Amino acid sequence: MFHFIVSLLFYILVPQHDFHTSWMNLTFNEKNNQFEVSWRTDTEHLEGVLTSFSGMEIKLENTSIEDHKVLLNNYIDKNTSLLFNQQMQLLEIDVVEVTFAEVVVHFKPIKYKRKLKSVTVASTLLQLVFPNQINMVQVNYKGKMYSMLLGGSKTVEEVFLD
């Protein structure tokens, strides 16, 4: 009986949903007046999403990632927008690193010389296939860090910088 009660409690307390996260980082380089932008996510989840998006079986490997850069760029363009002071910014893929566990997408630097007052991100990355997806965004600007958490029905957030 004790074993049954412990098993039941364990079943009730253990989360029953699949939880996924991705992380986008925007770091301002003051010397060059540009943002260095990267996005990290799980390899297997990105493969599943790209397979669904393209209708073809996609396997991501470091040796074949160049074959999928256009597809990946189209997917990111369709599911993400980035605005600085209400002006759309281009996220253009520069380098993609793939390991068994993780994909890191490095975007070409975004030059920005004006004073930054707000950053707006809209993201539905991975959410069509993984509804419990949480997309974290971190903005590092002039020594301060700002964070956003997007997921579920919350797909857009704006942060105002001091």
At 21 the pLDDT is 79
Does residue 5 fall inside a structural domain?
A: no
- CA–CA separation, 89 vs 9, rounded Å? 49
- CA–CA separation, 74 vs 54, rounded Å? 10
Both tokens of residue 20? 């996924």
The percent of residues above 70 in pLDDT, for the chain, comes to 88
First to last CA, the chain: 59
- Residue-averaged pLDDT of the chain: 89
Residue 6, pLDDT above cutoff 70: no
List the domain range (segments joined by +) for residue 78. Answer: 19-160
Does residue 8 fall inside a structural domain?
A: no
At 35 the pLDDT is 98
Does residue 62 fall inside a structural domain?
A: yes
Does residue 10 fall inside a structural domain?
A: no
Least confident range of 18-22, 102-106, 127-131, 141-145: 18-22
Both tokens of residue 103? 């994909």
Does residue 7 fall inside a structural domain?
A: no
Does residue 109 fall inside a structural domain?
A: yes
Instruction: Enumerate the H helices of 55-118 as residue ranges.
Output: 69-79
Q: Which of 159, 118, 150, 154 is nearest to 23 (CA)?
A: 150
Does residue 40 fall inside a structural domain?
A: yes
Does residue 11 fall inside a structural domain?
A: no
Q: Which residue type occupies 69?
A: K
Q: Which of 50, 41, 49, 39 is nearest to 21 (CA)?
A: 41
- CA–CA separation, 82 vs 105, rounded Å? 15
Which residues, listed in sequence order, are joined to residue 40 by a DSSP beta bridge? Answer: 23, 104
Residues 105-135: tens digit of each pLDDT: 999 999 999 999 999 999 989 888 888 888 9
Count of structural domains within the chain: 1
